[in-house]
Structure 1
Amino acid sequence: MHGEPLRPHDIDVTTPSVARMYDYLLGGKDNYQADRNACEQLLKTAPSTRELARNNRLFLQRVVRYLAVQHGIDQFIDHGSGFPARENVHQVAQRVHPGAAVVYVDHDPVVIAHSRALLGSNEHTAVLHADLRNTDLIFGHEDTRRLIDFSRPVAALFVSVLHCLRDEDQPAKLMQNVIKRLAPGSCLVICQLVSDQPQIREVVTSFMRRTTNNHWGRVREESEVQAYFTGLDIIEPPGLVEVSTWMPDTDLAPRQKTFEWKVWGGVGIVP
């Protein structure tokens, strides 16, 4: 169920990890000094980063609940899932559908170790140690096939992860590769970091590539993210938006105070 074992030398705690940096910004404990130092440096350039991370997490929870309730979806593949924080995908989905199946995918060995320890007793979840670009492996894995019925609608989640891909990884092509494997009525949840400020795009991209040992892609523009939804019927309203404004629970929901950068995207349905 849990795939190949992890070895101690797979884990490098001296190089900041995107997943562990995100955990720190959310107030988690699954991070190391290198991750904390990198976040504090990043906050000097983009002070809204901590709010951005929290709003991104709330978006994930809202969108899973929405898809489970309004579209009846009970199968989820979470690409680049990160640490299983409280109110993770399976908890939100299984509150609506007790038998909801969730496959978590990540390549960070620390994330995998923690996720497997926490989710080992949940028979409706699986944790895959895989690169999100390897759609053949993810969709063909025995655990995925055990849990996911691809003849029915599936929600494929790419929440705040595609900015980790370089342009040569062709994220738009990756989305098309995923779309063609999904039944009609399936949904893609896609969002990533964008900025309309060229200097922020350049400075943050350079910082993150240097800090994470090139495990980072690029801060993009809204039009580039919109291209990821080609061939999908975007749920309107709200369409593609800054994620804290995607169907907020209340008018008092948290908002960013500044917008050096933002997480931008939405949900598309496979026709």
Structure 2
Amino acid sequence: MIDPAGDDRNEPPPSIDVTKPSVARVYDMLLGGKDNYESDRVIYRQIMEVAPDLPVWARENRRWLQRAVSWLTREHRISQFLDLGAGLPTAQNTHQIAQGINPVTKVVYVDNDPSVIAHGRALLLDNEYTDFAAADFTRPHQVLSDEAVVVGLDADRPFGLIEALVLHHVPDLDHAREIQAAYLDKLPSGSFVAISHACNPRDGSETARVAEAFEQRLAPSFPDLRFRTPEEILSLFGDLKVLSPGLVRLSDWNPYGEVDLEAPDIDDASNFLYCAVARKP
């Protein structure tokens, strides 16, 4: 393995094709991680040419995740979470956030990226309330029937469904809605759905221009990536009621109505990541 500085590391597991970039590893780079290869660094450099502020917003996505999980755990007594497309373990993962409030909170991570699977398995070694399902989140039946999910989560009690920056990797909107409908149908009453998603308002604004440039630059390596309009993102919640403050930019999401004094002071045009949380009656 090679870190961004070019130092040799351990050889990757045979199941990992280091010649192809990984969404999980590139995202990990944006967060400052070192589990990456040259194929990932090529994409990373391309990203930085188009949207140099993106590492800031990747970190903002983690801060939003921390606020959302903390709020659900503390205020709504949610004690189990299903985190889809979880990515590589980094600081302030869902289980660390929730279990910091309630130590017996159960968390099941789901991902099918070989790099993520290799790291995710390590979570089983020292945390009896955390499990990992090597499954494709776009196949809800596969996920929901996985032993880690069946054993790890109580299907009769509410849980939090976390979908942080994953649904924009489903290119067809109707397919994304079908995937969501399958999950929403199985959610117990009182459960919550938290989504963050890349947004292109397609309104001729500077944000739309930056989003379009970003999509085009990444298309050869990540052809499934889709930015969606606010209306399209909201449709992924189905008939669920989206809670206050609604669908907003990451730094604007605060259920207590407080101003985020730690929000980064950068050009809003590059702030194309939106989020919302909804509840199932």
Q: TM-score, normalised by structure 2?
A: 0.87
Could you give the per-residue CA deviations for residues 229-252 of structure 1, whole angstroms, max 9, x where no partner exists? 22111111x111001111187632
Q: Quick one: higher RCO (CA 8 Å, sep 6+), 1 or 2? A: 1
> 2:225 — aligned with what?
217
1:40 matched residue in structure 2: 45
- Give the residue type in structure 1 aligned to 2:273: V
Aligned to 1:3: none
Q: What does residue 177 of structure 1 align with?
A: 182
User: Structure 2 unaligned runs (5+)?
Assistant: 1-11, 202-206
Structure 1 residue 9: Cα displacement: 3.9
1:168 Cα offset (Å): 6.2
How big is each residue's C-alpha offset from its partner over 1:71-117, in whole Å with a ceiling of 9 and x where there is no partner? 10011000010111122111111112211111101111011101212
Q: Which runs of 4+ in 1 moved over 3 A?
A: 197-203, 248-251
Matched, 1:240 2:253: no
Query: Secondary structure of the residue that 1:185 maps to in structure 2?
Result: coil
1:107-149 Cα offsets, whole Å, 9 max, x none, are 1101110121244221111111111111111111111111101
Where does 1:257-268 land on structure 2 (aligned, <5 Å)?
Answer: 257-258=266-267, 259-268=269-278
Task: List aligned pairs for 1:82-161, cutoff 5 A.
Answer: 82-161=87-166
Tell me which residue corresponds to 1:194. Answer: 199
CA RMSD across the alignment: 1.9
Verify the 8 A CA contact 1:193 1:263 in the aligned structure 2. Answer: yes
3-state SS in 2 of match to 1:78: strand
How far did residue 43 of structure 1 move? Answer: 1.5
> What is the CA–CA distance in structure 1 between the aligned matches of 2:184 and 2:140, rounded to whole Å?
11
For residues 205-257 of structure 1, give each alpha carbon's deviation from its aligned partner in whole angstroms, at most 9, with x where no partner exists. Answer: 23323124x4x331111111011122111111x11100111118763212361
Give, in angstroms, the shift of residue 8 of structure 1: 4.0
- Secondary structure of the structure 1 residue equivalent to 2:236: helix
Identity %: 37
TM (norm. structure 1) is: 0.90
Mean CA deviation greater in 79-88 or 258-267? 258-267
**How far apart are the structure 1 equivalents of 2:265 and 2:82?**
28
Contact 1:24 1:30 in 2 (8 A): yes
Determine the C-alpha separation between the residues in 2 that align with 1:227 and 1:80. 20
Kindly indicate whether the alpha-carbon contact (under 8 Å) linking 1:159 and 1:191 is maintained by their aligned counterparts in 2.
Answer: yes
